[in-house]
A and B are shown apart, each in its own frame.
Chain A
Amino acid sequence: MLGKLLKHEFKATARLLLPIYLVLFVLTIVDRIALSIDFRGALNVIPGFATMAYVISIVTIAVVSLVIIVLRFYKNLMTDEGYLMFTLPVKPSQLINSKLLVSMFWNLVSFLLIIASLLGVFLTRERFGLLKDGIRMVLNEMGKEFGTFNMTLLTIEFIVLVIIALINNILIIYASIAVGQLFNGHKVLGSFAAYIGISTVLQIVVTVALITLGALFHKSFEEISALPQIVFPLTIGFTIIANGLFYWGTNFIFNRKLNLE
């Protein structure tokens, strides 16, 4: 059933994002052309306008990706549409999974498309060389500092961290919305309050954890290898625990405390 939920979730979200992706694609080409032509006099405003439209489309994609996370989850599960979704023969956890996976997918696609588009507008043969040299230099320097083993470790940890941090951002929103729906009649307000509350608690816990661990590992933190061997693993571990809690909490509320209006 997860497959069918994913299919319909893609259908419901693609209709919002694909048109914006298309606009970005067109504006990327327009801006590239506008920037390459040498306009004279009053026509000079053309590249200016093209770039402005382009920047707006990038911002729109970033915003819409976020809005999809929030709105799809809230509207589809917590409003009248929830009567449809929660009476399907699926587990509440499958509803969460489908929303989470599709949100992650669109966020990654949006991110990659924005990078590709920026390269499409601004990349020239000359800049490509500079970029390549720059990246190679940074990697070389890091490799020298960390050594092969730690560098490999760091790379893997970085990728893992990006993925679970993305999950973390999404699950905080889901948990906030789930907590918010417990406040009858003030569900949106409740969700915002829950988000602020959860984020604050998370900040406090992280700060306390950092201070404690800082004192514990005081000596070893001075070594550069502490980054891949202590700091990153701790951050990953902590984020996974937080993700588990948010997921469990959301699922618990959906199973036991659902309160559709």
Chain B
Amino acid sequence: MSAILECKSLTKKFTTLTALSNVNLTLERGRIIGLLGPNGSGKTTMIKLINGLLVPTSGTILVDGKAPGTDTKKIVSYLPEKTYLPDWMKISDTIEFFHDFYPDFDSKRANEMLDRLHLDASRRMKTLSKGTKEKVQLILVMSRNADLYCLDEPIGGVDPAARDYILNTIISNYNENATVLISTHLIADIEKVLDEVVFIKDGTVTLHSSVEDIRTKEGKSVDTLFREVFKC
């Protein structure tokens, strides 16, 4: 089985800046990986490339051995940093939408999670607060049985109590062959769930290591290391 994600000399340039430069990165299956870096370091560009929302300037990116396209979109579950659900939809409409388009979507699981967070499926998206919308999106994304979950800043906008619930959701909902890629700069909150970290700075990967190794070799937490590496 090929690696779930493989980047070779991956470069993405925009007219005025180079967002990613010569990235070589291989992510294995069955890990929870933090994609960590300061604002504007290229985290979102990376995730958009994985999801085919951007096309590389040069180099290759392979998801399950294939270039991003219809086939890879079937196995990648993506949570963007945007509230991307149409505001006229009811929560129940969004569940039907995901059910129609993603064969791996588990409606039962989604409804159970809605119940647990006391969210009424007949509410319209536009009547929900920003944090609640994010919860709904996360529930939809985590209710898929995907091979790769890409979560872009999944905990930025929600309160700490919901944050814990969401992290538990992430850990408990993915199967052992799936990989979860979480981009964030709120490291302390998610450090305890991570198996590996990828540090990204100015469009280059500066570190790819297991959390275990960082703790034993460097003798510090990921959060401390991050603060040192990215010291302003």
Q: Is A76 a contact of B86 with CB atoms below 8 Å?
A: yes
In the complex, whether A260 has a CB less than 8 A from a CB of chain B is: yes
Select which of B70, B84, B100 is within 8 A of A80 by beta carbon: B84
In the complex, whether B85 has a CB less than 8 A from a CB of chain A is: yes
Can you list the 7 inter-chain pairs with the closest CB atoms, starting with the nearest? Answer: A83-B84, A80-B82, A89-B73, A83-B80, A84-B84, A89-B74, A4-B100
Q: Is B73 a contact of A87 with CB atoms below 8 Å?
A: yes
In the complex, whether B199 has a CB less than 8 A from a CB of chain A is: no
Could you jot down 23 A-B contacts, CB within 8 Å? Answer: A1-B101, A4-B101, A8-B97, A15-B88, A76-B86, A80-B83, A81-B86, A83-B80, A84-B84, A84-B86, A86-B52, A87-B51, A87-B52, A87-B73, A87-B76, A89-B70, A89-B73, A89-B74, A90-B101, A255-B55, A256-B55, A258-B53, A260-B48
Cβ–Cβ < 8 Å partners of B93 in chain A:
11
Smallest CB–CB gap between A81 and chain B, Å?
A: 6
Number of A-B residue pairs having CB atoms within 8 Å of each other in the complex: 56
Cβ–Cβ < 8 Å partners of B70 in chain A:
89-91
Smallest CB–CB gap between A33 and chain B, Å?
A: 35
Within 8 A of B (CB), among A15-31: 15
Q: Give Cα A91–Cα B52 distance, bound, in whole angstroms.
A: 11
In the complex, whether A241 has a CB less than 8 A from a CB of chain B is: no
Q: Is A89 a contact of B102 with CB atoms below 8 Å?
A: yes
Q: Is B102 a contact of A8 with CB atoms below 8 Å?
A: no
Q: Name which residue of chain B comes closest to A255, CB basis.
A: B55
Smallest CB–CB gap between A37 and chain B, Å?
A: 40
Cβ–Cβ < 8 Å partners of A11 in chain B:
93
Cβ–Cβ < 8 Å partners of A80 in chain B:
80, 82-84
* Known A1-B101, A81-B86; 17 more pairs at CB < 8 Å: A4-B101, A8-B97, A8-B100, A81-B84, A82-B84, A86-B53, A87-B51, A87-B73, A87-B76, A88-B73, A89-B70, A89-B71, A89-B74, A90-B70, A255-B55, A258-B54, A260-B53
Within 8 A of A (CB), among B60-82: 70-71, 73-74, 76, 78, 80, 82
Smallest CB–CB gap between B11 and chain A, Å?
A: 16
Cβ–Cβ < 8 Å partners of B84 in chain A:
80-84
Q: Give Cα A91–Cα B74 distance, bound, in whole angstroms.
A: 12
From A8, A82, A84, name the one whose CB has the most chain B CB atoms within 10 angstroms. Answer: A84
Smallest CB–CB gap between B21 and chain A, Å?
A: 19
Q: Is A89 a contact of B101 with CB atoms below 8 Å?
A: yes
Within 8 A of A (CB), among B14-64: 48, 51-55
Within 8 A of B (CB), among A66-90: 76, 80-84, 86-90
Select which of B55, B85, B100 is within 8 A of A84 by beta carbon: B85
Q: Give Cα A88–Cα B86 distance, bound, in whole angstroms.
A: 14
Q: Name which residue of chain B comes closest to A256, CB basis.
A: B55
Q: Give Cα A81–Cα B87 distance, bound, in whole angstroms.
A: 9
